[in-house]
Amino acid sequence: MKGTILGYDPAAMKGVISADDGARYEFTAAEWKSAGAPAAGAKVDFEASGGQATGVYAAAGGAGAIDGAEIGRLFMTRPPISAAIAMILGCFFPLYSVSVTFMGASIGGAGGNIFNISGGAGLLFWAVPIMAVVVLYFEFAKRNAGATPRNLVIAAGAVGVGLVLLFWIAGGSLIAGQYGSMASFTPSVGAIIVAAGAVLMLLHAFGVVRTFGAPPSA
């Protein structure tokens, strides 16, 4: 019988499958016969026995094509996907805004995005989209092999939060050194989006936000 894993609890070593016949079947880790760990959204092949799934295998090609229902399940059960997308999108928006008051008039505006920053700081900030893309790779391409490594999620979140804070502090100090109290340096929409995605990464890694709720039924 074919089906899709609705959820799997590594601590309890139990999971639930929504089968193509419309019924749900529980299974234990002992019945998982494929490499890696069971993961929500994985397509499986199994034998049904009195409400229990036995001999559960990852379905052939299960890690390939993704239908709309599976995408919905992945977004609901894997917050790092939304976090990584937010971190990438934030890179395309201005990171900061500068305002200088001179002779009663305020001049300035939004600064560049991550890709416009030159020098060593620019190279550092490339770590944000790179880490986010690596997380997305694990979340989609490796989704049937288990959850994205926790250390990778922590690293991606720490890079996002750390670089935004570093840029905010360093940029503010630089502007203050040049213009004194006449200038203000504030984070803009890009920094806020990147930081929000990075914080979500960390909240998930430390078990505060495990999912966004129950996945849509198959």
User: Per-residue pLDDT tens for 136-191?
Assistant: 988 877 665 456 888 999 999 999 999 888 887 877 777 667 666 666 777 788 88
User: Does the pTM of the predicted model rise above 0.75?
Assistant: no
Instruction: Identify the helix (H) or strand (E) that includes residue 184.
Output: strand 183-187
- What is the arithmetic mean of pLDDT over 108-126? 73
Condensed to tens digits (0 to 9), the pLDDT of residues 44-95 reads 999 998 899 999 998 865 544 455 666 777 788 789 999 999 999 999 998 8
pLDDT at 114 over 80: no
Domain 2-58, what fold? OB fold (Dihydrolipoamide Acetyltransferase, E2P) (2.40.50)
- More reliable by pLDDT, 162 or 118: 162
Q: Which has the closest alpha carbon to 1: 43, 45, 34?
A: 45
pLDDT at 115 over 50: yes
Judge contact between 57 and 165, C-beta under 8 A. Answer: no
Alpha helix segments (H runs only) across the chain: 68-77, 79-90, 119-125, 127-141, 150-179, 189-205
The mean pLDDT of the chain is 82
pLDDT score of 96: 78
Q: What DSSP designation does 32 have? A: B
pLDDT band at 102 (very low <50, low <70, confident <90, very high): low
